[in-house]
Structure 1
C-alpha cells in the first residue's frame, strides 16, 4: 500500500462526511430547517444550503414550496432496496451455482446490468487449471457476453437502441458484434430459445452460456452463466449445461416470486 492510499484512508473527504451528516440528521427528524441543520452538523448555513440543493436536485431530499424545512425522500430506501435485492439474489443463487460447479467443474457467474455493461456479483471458480480470469465486481459489455444477451433479449427494440445509443461496439475478437443491428438479430433467437451464448465474442477460445433470472414482476434482473474453453466443448456438454442453467434459473426465479 503506497503513501497516497494511506492518506486516503486516514483523511476522509470532508464534503462526503458533511453530506452523510446531513442525511443522518434528516433521518432522525421528520423535517429540519437550514438553521437547525447547520447547528447539528456544525457547518455554515450557506454550506448546508448548497448541499441540500444538490441533494434535492438528485431526488434525495424534498422541500415543499418556499418552506425552509427539508426532509428525506424515499430515494435512499429505493437505493438500499436494490442493494438488499442483490444480497438476497446471491444467497438464493449460491447453492445452485455450487451444485452446477460440482457437476461441470466449470466457472459459474451471476451478473446484473449496469448501464451498457454487466457486473459480476458472484462467481464460482472452475476446478481446472485452465480457467476464465474474472472477478466479482468486474465489468464486461452487454453486447459480447451471454449474460448481457439474456438481460437484453426481452426488452423492446427501442429500449435496446437507446441503451447503445452512445456506445462504440469495440470488437474483442473477430466474432464480436460490431453494431446494434446485428446484436438485435441474435437477441430474437435468445428470447425464443431461453438462453444466450457468447461464442468466443469476449475472449478467443472461451464460450459462455447464460440463462435469465426473473423477478416477481416478470422482469429479467440477472443472468446465470457457465464459462468453458472451446477445447472442452462438445454438443452433449452444451445441451447439459443449457438444461442445468435453465433449471436453476427457473427455481431461483420462482423463489423470487416469479410465476410463468
Structure 2
C-alpha cells in the first residue's frame, strides 16, 4: 500500500475566513468602537481622548463621530468638545420592550384611576433631556382635561419633569443630565435643589400647574429596581364642584401613590421614603 506523501505547509489549505472577517465593514466598526469607548465613560471624552483610546488618527474618526452626533447617538456635553452617549441606544436596545410592558401594565390601572376619581392622569418617562408622555387616561365624561401622548415636557418647569429629576440618584444627577444633553445642568440643578429636596422628602410633588390656571399637578415616581424614577405618573387635578365627596384631592393623591407603587419595581420601598444615598 503506497504511503501518503508527507504534507508540507504549502499543501495544507488555509482555514476559511470567519464570518467576522468575511463581512468586515471598517466604517461601521469604527462607529461601533466609538460607542463602546464612550459607554464606559460616565463623564464623556474629548475628541483627542477618543482618538487616544482607539489608537487611530483624528481624521479616521472625525466624520464618524460627527455622524453619530447628527443621528443622536452621541451628544456634545454643554456644546463643547466633550462627547457622551445619549439615551438613544438605551431606547433602541433595551428601552422599547420594557416600555411596551410598562404601558400594557399601566393603562388599565390608569383607566380605573380616572374612572373612580374623575381625574385624568398621564405616564411620563425621561428621553434625552425631556420627559415624554407615553400613556394617558381620562374619565368618561362629556369634557376632559388631558395631556397628549407623545408630548415632550420640560424637566425643570413641569411637575412630571421635576419629579423625574428629584428621584434620580443625587450624586449622579448632573452626569445623567449631561448624558441627556442638557446644557448648563449644574447651575440649573443648584437653582432647583430646594424644590428637589422637598419632593424627595415628601415622596411626591404637589403644586399648582405652571401650564394651566386652576390645575394642581400631583406627581409620583414610578421607581426602578435601584430606587431611581424610571417614570412618573401625574394627575392634573381639577376640582369638581358637583362631587359630594369631601377632600378629594387627598384621596386622589393617596390613590395615585398606590398606583405608582403598583407599577414600581421596588415594591418594598414606601411611597414617601427618602431617595437612597
Q: TM-score, length-normalised on structure 1?
A: 0.63
Instruction: Tell me what 2:138 maps to.
Output: 125
Deviation of 1:128 after TM superposition, in Å, equals 4.1
Q: 99, 103, 125: which one pairs with 1:86? A: 99
Q: Which whole-Å deviations, capped at 9, do the CAs of 1:107-163 have from their partners, x for residues lacking one?
A: 110111123311111111343455335322211111222222221213455644553
Q: 238, 243, 247: which one pairs with 2:249? A: 238
Matched, 1:145 2:133: no
In structure 2, the CA distance between the partners of 1:109 and 1:102, relative to structure 1 (3 Å rule), is same
Q: Which whole-Å deviations, capped at 9, do the CAs of 1:1-23 have from their partners, x for residues lacking one?
A: xxxxxxxxxxxxxxxxxxxxxxx
Alignment of 1:97-246 (within 5 A): 97-155=110-168, 159-161=172-174, 163=177, 166=183, 180-229=189-238, 236-246=247-257
SS in 1 for 2:106: helix
Whether the 8 Å CA contact 1:113–1:119 is kept in 2: the answer is yes
Q: For 2:166 and 2:147, locate their aligned partners in 1 and report how far apart those are by CA, in whole Å.
A: 24
Q: For 1:185 and 1:77, locate their aligned partners in 2 and report how far apart those are by CA, in whole Å.
A: 30
In structure 2, the CA distance between the partners of 1:58 and 1:160, relative to structure 1 (3 Å rule), is closer
Whether the 8 Å CA contact 1:107–1:126 is kept in 2: the answer is yes
Instruction: Tell me what 1:8 maps to.
Output: none
In structure 2, the CA distance between the partners of 1:89 and 1:259, relative to structure 1 (3 Å rule), is same
Q: 258, 267, 276: which one pairs with 1:247? A: 258
Whether the 8 Å CA contact 1:207–1:230 is kept in 2: the answer is no
Matched, 1:259 2:268: yes
Deviation of 1:205 after TM superposition, in Å, equals 3.5
In structure 2, the CA distance between the partners of 1:133 and 1:218, relative to structure 1 (3 Å rule), is closer
Deviation of 1:52 after TM superposition, in Å, equals 2.6
Q: 34, 40, 49: which one pairs with 2:26? A: 49
Whether the 8 Å CA contact 1:212–1:249 is kept in 2: the answer is yes
Q: TM-score, length-normalised on structure 2?
A: 0.59
SS in 1 for 2:210: coil
Alignment RMSD (CA, Å):
3.6
User: Which segment drifts farther, 182-191 or 154-163?
Assistant: 154-163
User: Which segment drifts farther, 152-161 or 236-245?
Assistant: 152-161
In structure 2, the CA distance between the partners of 1:76 and 1:159, relative to structure 1 (3 Å rule), is closer
Matched, 1:37 2:23: yes
Q: For 1:139 and 1:98, locate their aligned partners in 2 and report how far apart those are by CA, in whole Å.
A: 22
Q: For 1:216 and 1:157, locate their aligned partners in 2 and report how far apart those are by CA, in whole Å.
A: 16
Deviation of 1:102 after TM superposition, in Å, equals 0.7
Whether the 8 Å CA contact 1:218–1:258 is kept in 2: the answer is no
Which runs of 5 or more structure 2 residues have no equivalent in the other structure? 1-17, 38-53, 57-87, 270-277
Deviation of 1:183 after TM superposition, in Å, equals 2.5
Deviation of 1:221 after TM superposition, in Å, equals 0.8
Which runs of 5 or more structure 1 residues have no equivalent in the other structure? 1-29, 39-47, 67-74, 169-177
